[in-house]
Chain A
Amino acid sequence: MNRGGEKKAFPLERGLAWIVTVLLTLFITAAILCTLSVQLLTSESLHTAIATGDAVVNSEIRYIHEKIDEMAAEYGFSAERMKEVVGKEEIRRINRETASWWTALLTEGKTEEAPRWYSSQVEEILYETMPEENRKEDPQTIASDLMDMVERTVFPLRETLISTGMSYVQEKADIVSLVRTMRGLPLISLMCCLAAAGAVALLMGREIFRSLKYYGSALAGAGFAIISTIVIILLLRPAEFIAEASRPLMIELETVAGRIFMAAGAIVAILLAAGYICLVKYRNRKTKKTSVSERAA
């Protein structure tokens, strides 16, 4: 019975509010997943930070040095001097160049030639440290193999094929406007969120505090939806194929996935906290109201 001044929402309004809340949950989830995907695909700073980060550089250096040791054992050149040429800073520099080439290709469709690594010191070391009488292979061939191995470790994809493929895609579609649309997706989802939140507030009429129940459910619900998405992705184990195909690529992807999952984890924590704060506030407010009405009775 409604004897007070405040009006209780009709069941129809409540039903509608719940439908809008499910949509709101969907929009919040979509906004966050879109933001993470857009960052993953188009952010040059993210790609550069990952490519030049210690985790990737150290694992690449370890792999390259292992290979140099193997080659030195086979051909008899000085592995230590070669390792000095292919040092940490050099790898970081190549990674930076490759990351900016890669993001320019993905976001602007720039099909320039991929950065190549060349060092005259490699050949010099080979000529100096390989005794001429024991040479199994031409030092120039070894130098070319070694530089190729470094390039392959830093960028384990066939860049010529990617460039050609991208040129073909560019003929069919406008990459720049496609990327611009993709970057706008999180904003569109956010606007849908605001519209849904506004609709809930309108449906609740003057009793704005009631909206807290719906907002809280949607925010924390989006948190749970993102957790379920991450769990599904992890269960499908897409990394298995990549690990089989290329170890260096796997290392880079693991770092990218780690960063993305950490960001997703932080967002989930914020969503769950915000959602449950709304629900606790709503319950406290409702409990106070009920106590007042009990005393009055």
Chain B
Amino acid sequence: MNTEHEKKPSRGIYALPLLMALPVAAGMIIAAYMAWPTLQKLMNILIKMVVRP
């Protein structure tokens, strides 16, 4: 017979995916915050060059 002593897992395990997504989302936000102004300028130049008025 199995006599393992462990607590029933709480419903908190359903929040684990959010915890896993946190580093990825944080990375994205930091990258967007840091790179967006430069990217914005580049996009502006590129669009003005490439798009026909």
Contact = CB atoms under 8 A, between A and B. Distances in A.
B18 A221 contact: yes
Interface in A259-297: 272, 275-276, 279, 282-283, 286-287, 289-290, 292-293, 296-297
A249 B24 CA distance: 32
Interface string A173-187: 000000000000000
B52 A279 contact: no
Given A157-B51, A158-B51, A287-B9, A217 B17 contact: yes
B43 A238 contact: yes
Interface stretch (A2-10, A45-53, A79-87, A195-203): A2-10
A265 B17 CA distance: 17
Nearest to A242: B47
Given A1-B5, A4-B3, A286-B8, A152 B17 contact: no
A225 interface: yes
A22 B16 contact: no
Contact of B17 (A2, A8, A157, A224): A224
Contact of B9 (A25, A228, A238, A283): A283
Contacts, number: 137
Contacts of A225: 20-21, 24-25, 28
Counting chain B residues whose Cβ lies within 8 A of the other chain, the interface size class is: 20 to 34
A6 B4 contact: yes
A36 to B, nearest CB: 15
Contact of A241 (B2, B24, B36, B44): B44
A238 B36 CA distance: 10
Given A157-B52, A221-B17, A26 B3 contact: no
B29 A232 contact: yes
Contacts of B7: 290
Interface in A203-236: 213, 216-225, 228-229, 232, 236
A213 B21 contact: no
B9 A156 contact: no
A21 interface: yes
B2 A289 contact: yes
Interface in B20-45: 20-21, 23-25, 28-29, 32, 36, 40, 43-44
B50 A220 contact: no
A130 interface: no
Contacts of B50: 157-158, 161-162
Contacts of B52: 152, 156-158, 246
Q: Which of B2, B40, B43, B52 has the most CB of A within 10 A?
A: B52
A55 interface: no
Nearest to B15: A217
Given A158-B51, A236-B32, A293 B8 contact: no
A98 interface: no
Contacts of A238: 43
A245 interface: yes
Contact of B4 (A162, A241, A293): A293
8 contacts: A21-B20, A216-B16, A217-B16, A219-B17, A224-B18, A228-B25, A246-B52, A286-B9
